Amino acid sequence: MGEVLLSITQLNKSFGTAGGQVQALQNVELQVQEGEFITVIGPSGCGKSTLLRIVAGLDTGYTGSATNAPLYSRPAAAGGGNRL
């Protein structure tokens, strides 16, 4: 297999609400290697956006680790945006 591009270990995230604590992510484990294609699917409120915000570095206050390999942007074909 290729280089590990994303490694998530024992990832946990909870939110405080008026009704108490909500566990958005619990003990998430994921490893994505170069050349793999993944999707994140699930019902509303299951933690998809929370997971992706952590991976993108937009969310804090979690436990565990989420490590990304450095990514670079390169121009796409004419008429397209940038590819990561």
Over range 22-50, report the average pLDDT: 94
pLDDT in tens, 42-69: 999 999 999 999 998 899 899 999 988 7
Split at pLDDT 50, 70, 90, the class of 70 is confident
Q: Could you tell me which of 52, 46, 55, 57 has the C-alpha nearest to residue 22?
A: 46
pLDDT score, position 82: 47
Judge: domain 4-83, CATH 3.30.450.90: no
pLDDT above 60: residue 78: no
Residues 19-31, mean pLDDT to the nearest whole number: 94
Which residues, 6+ apart, have CB-to-CB distance to 2 below 8 Å? Answer: 33, 34, 35, 36
